A and B are shown apart, each in its own frame.
Chain A
Amino acid sequence: ILNVEQSPQSLHVQEGDSTNFTCSFPSSNFYALHWYRWETAKSPEALFVMTLNGDEKKKGRISATLNTKEGYSYLYIKGSQPEDSATYLCAFNQNTGNQFYFGTGTSLTVIP
């Protein structure tokens, strides 16, 4: 079992604040890193798939970066809104297999 760590475990921010959290993963045999947003009572929704070292992806106010050499990815949310409240899961898979390894998630609460 490969260890994927996410920090912090939970986060409360005020509406309008910007925030970021981290996903750390083993850097060997890297294939892809995935970010998902999981709102309560809904399905986890794919945000980004990142494959190349130095990748930066953006979707509205949310962006992500990837460093495969040191084994981490950052997710940034600019100007947080209450609808951003969710658990953000990262998962990575290696080029030696098909399984996704998930982190425990970061639970974000945006306070109006």
Chain B
Amino acid sequence: DAMVIQNPRYQVTQFGKPVTLSCSQTLNHNVMYWYQQKSSQAPKLLFHYYDKDFNNEADTPDNFQSRRPNTSFCFLDIRSPGLGDAAMYLCATSRSPGFGYTFGSGTRLTVV
């Protein structure tokens, strides 16, 4: 089945140690999104790629970067994770901007 896959499901990283979360899709969707969801809060958009065009939200910290080397893969890099970056990170894809999303199952990041 076509799907969106996030790895790993759970990630524990040390304070300040760079970490990368990955997302892959077999849907051939043009748009890939990264959302951060902290406990009891709404998912918050960090950035998205429309094809190769990178779109950063104004309030996304500089500590967060993203790469999309090809249509299928998108990575979220956190350069120096702080305790406040512990959250669920959701990857989603859509055929075009504004179309409905297909989600991955998320990566729960713990910072120790």
Q: Could you tell me which A residues sit within 8 Å of B by CB distance?
A: 4, 9, 31-32, 34, 36, 41-46, 49, 89, 91, 93, 98-105
Contact = CB atoms under 8 A, between A and B. Distances in A.
Given A43-B103, A43-B104, 6 more contacts: A36-B103, A43-B3, A44-B101, A46-B101, A98-B98, A105-B42
Contact of B106 (A4, A43, A102): A43
Contacts of A101: 42
Contacts, number: 43
Given A43-B103, A43-B106, A32 B41 contact: no
A100 B45 contact: yes
A43 B40 CA distance: 17
A41 B6 CA distance: 12
Contact of B42 (A34, A36, A98, A102): A102
Contacts of A34: 100-101
Given A41-B105, A42-B105, A43-B105, A9 B98 contact: no
Interface residues of B, number: 19
Interface of B: 3-4, 9, 35, 40-43, 45, 90, 97-98, 100-106
A41 B8 CA distance: 12
A49 B101 CA distance: 10
B100 A43 contact: no
B42 A104 contact: yes
